[in-house]
Structure 1
Amino acid sequence: MRTDGDSWDIVTSVGLTALGVAAFRALESIDPEPMIHDEYAAWFVEAAGEPRFVDMLEDPASVPVGPFGRFMGVRTRFFDEFFAAAWQRGVRQAVILASGLDARAYRLDWPAGMVVFEIDQPRVLEFKDRVLAQHGAVFKADRRVLAVDLRDDWPAALTAAGFDPERPAAWSAEGLLPFLPGSAHDALFERIDALSAPGSSVATDDFGRGLDSHDFDTEEKFFGGNPFGNLNVGDLWYDDTRAEPEDWLSRHGWSVHHASPFDLAADYGRPITDLPADLPEALLDRMRQPRYVSAEKRS
């Protein structure tokens, strides 16, 4: 269970979910028709040595998790395309909040002059940097790492690292929101708004909305098992009162767009059609919610 000020490394608590997501990015990357390509993800799984995820990469068919992995491919591509659209508009600052094992500073073809800020827990970033250095990875942008908890004063660390609030920026909050208490969740958007010049954009996935621990257990049943082993991800989420991201952004001068994972999968040429026939309709409706949100700050 979560506590105030808790922390983690890459094989415990919230950190283990980042490792699991890396495993699914690695699996998607070796699919015959991949939606993404992330050669770095497998490095992290191998270095961490967590048996379940190592076994997944060695024998993907041994872990029956149904279409769960494809959702990770959809999510990753959504954020990849979000950043590409931002730099095509001339944005040259990107902030990856709760960056975890995100290797976009290395694997995306950033334009010249791009600065990518990564914010996460110290031990997670230390692990990631160590693995990347061992493999001789070379980043494709000016990468600046900030080891700070998002429940603390991360804007001060960000500006101290060279972030310019007078210039447009692209912000991502991927796989993050349910892991924040309500007060930190709402403060996150307030801080993003305060630091964003007109022309800035933000993307997030509100994947915990409408679900609770019981729903997650039900999803496990129909997807063939818990992809995170004995870790119940729902136990790491906060369910206190918080603003709806799209509503908050709309009320504060942002133009908001949203899409469901099913719509995105179809757009990417990998429609999700293999869900169990007896999946409860109520759960299916929640899964089809427009969980992916992107927004641009108007002038």
Structure 2
Amino acid sequence: MDELAEWDIVTGVGITALGVAAGRAMETHRDGGLVSDPYAEAFVEAAAPPAPMPTRLEDTDDREVPWRSMSDYMGVRSRYFDDYLGDTSRAGIGQVVLLAAGLDVRAYRLDWPDGTTVYELDAPKVLSFKDDVLAAQGAHPRADRRVVAVDLREDWPKVLQESGFERSVPSAWLAEGLLPFLPNVAKERLCRFVTDLSTPGSRFEVEHIDDVRGMMQEESSQRARDLFGVDIESLWPDDGPFDPAAWLADNGWNVGVERSADVAERFGRTLESPNGDSARSSMFITAVRV
């Protein structure tokens, strides 16, 4: 049976989406939080993960997993991408594609202009779990939300267009927490698909990590693996470097890059970087189709 079809919310890649939700829940409950996600805590409670995931900073034990650092990063990352999507809306872009949407609830928690369509692409079981929890919470989307259950390693543009996506009008794309799980050939394919589907004026936001393998060798990553019984490193392809910013710049996009450590400073936060080296922090790539 296909591997992706077997991913649920507490196994494989699915549990990483749940960990992200826990980070957003902690950020939501903290004073001065950068984002507010009213459903993140409900996802964690409904999933019953193999080891407890805190949803409030006061319940964390950083001796096992660096939850506070995760909360900081999820707050910074989520706020940055929220602002990006707000900018795209103000620019008049009315169709948004969330690649590997996971437990993203931006269709529910952001203020979208009338007529906005949000497409959520991810594994079937993850999306089904999300829909069940949101239904139990009585949640209602603020945009025309369209769920697209599809394997992003395959030819997903056809399924997206069958769901109503129009390639003739500008679109906004988000690849948050996705690229590390794709081999280089799939990363390039994804960039090419997005490029082919994007008319001039479209925007593409990508989270990129330079040294994925080095990050997985950090002690905190090893502790998380032992605690949750999921070897994330085994889910990440053993490929060489791939520079999405350079690829996009060479293929019809105007590209800007910011380090997450610099973004955090702008938001009044400090992020922990591997070995204390801010140059090893993740990058947020913003591209505009020309």
Aligned mate of 1:128, from 119, 127, 130: 130
Q: Alpha-carbon deviation of 1:68? A: 2.8
Query: Is 1:226 matched with 2:224?
Result: yes
- Distance, in Å, in 2 between the alignment partners of 1:58 and 1:198 is 43
State the 1:241 CA deviation: 4.4
Matched, 1:8 2:7: yes
* C-alpha distance in 1 between matches for 2:57 and 2:75: 19
Matching residue's letter, 1:127: F
What is aligned with 2:179? 177
Partner deviation per Cα, 1:95-154 (whole Å, 9 max, x = no partner): 000000000000000110000000011111110001100111010000001111101221
For residues 213-262 of structure 1, what are the alpha-carbon distances to aligned partners after superposition, in whole Å with 9 as ceiling and x for unaligned?
A: x54232518xx953874433222111324641100110111111111111
- Contact preservation (8 Å) 1:210, 1:286: no
Q: In structure 2, how many angstroms separate the alpha carbons of the residues matched to 1:95 and 1:18?
A: 17
Q: How does 1:137-152 map to 2 (within 5 A)?
A: 137-152=139-154
Superposition pairs for residues 185-224 of structure 1, below 5 Å?
185-207=187-209, 209-212=210-213, 215-220=215-220
Using the TM superposition, give the Cα deviation of residue 205 of structure 1 relative to its aligned residue in structure 2, in angstroms.
0.6
Structure 1, gaps ≥5 residues long: none
Shift of the 211–4 alpha-carbon distance from structure 1 to 2, 3 Å rule, reads same
Distance in 2 of aligned mates of 1:111 and 1:294: 22
Contact preservation (8 Å) 1:92, 1:115: yes
**Residues 257 and 39 of structure 1, relative CA distance in 2, 3 Å threshold:** same
Cα RMSD (Å) of the superposition?
2.3
Residue number in structure 2 paired with 1:293? 285
For residues 70-114 of structure 1, the C-alpha deviation after alignment (integer angstroms, 9 at most, x for no partner) is 111111111111111101000000000000000000000011000
Distance 2:52 2:159 in 1: 33
1:102 aligned residue:
104
**Greater shift in the superposed pair: 9-18 or 255-264:** 255-264
Contact 1:27 1:60 in 2 (8 A): no
Aligned residues: 285
Query: For the residues of structure 2 that align with 1:249 and 1:149, how far apart are their CA atoms?
Result: 22
- Shift in CA distance, 257/219, structure 1 to aligned 2, threshold 3 Å: farther
Matched, 1:236 2:235: yes
Aligned position for 1:39: 38
Question: Percent identity over the alignment?
Answer: 40
Query: What is the CA–CA distance in structure 1 between the aligned matches of 2:58 and 2:275, rounded to whole Å?
Result: 30
- Higher mean displacement: 228-237 or 195-204: 228-237
Q: Tell me the CA shift for residue 54 of structure 1.
A: 4.0
Quick one: structure 1 residues 286 and 235, their matched pair in 2 at CA, closer, same or farther if it must change by over 3 Å? farther
Q: Which moved more, 1:186-195 or 1:256-265?
A: 256-265
Once the two structures are superposed, residues 43-85 of structure 1 have per-residue CA deviations (whole angstroms, 9 ceiling, x without a partner) of 1101101153444549523344142321111111111111111
Displacement of 1:6: 6.6
Aligned equivalents of 1:152, 1:124: Cα separation in 2: 17
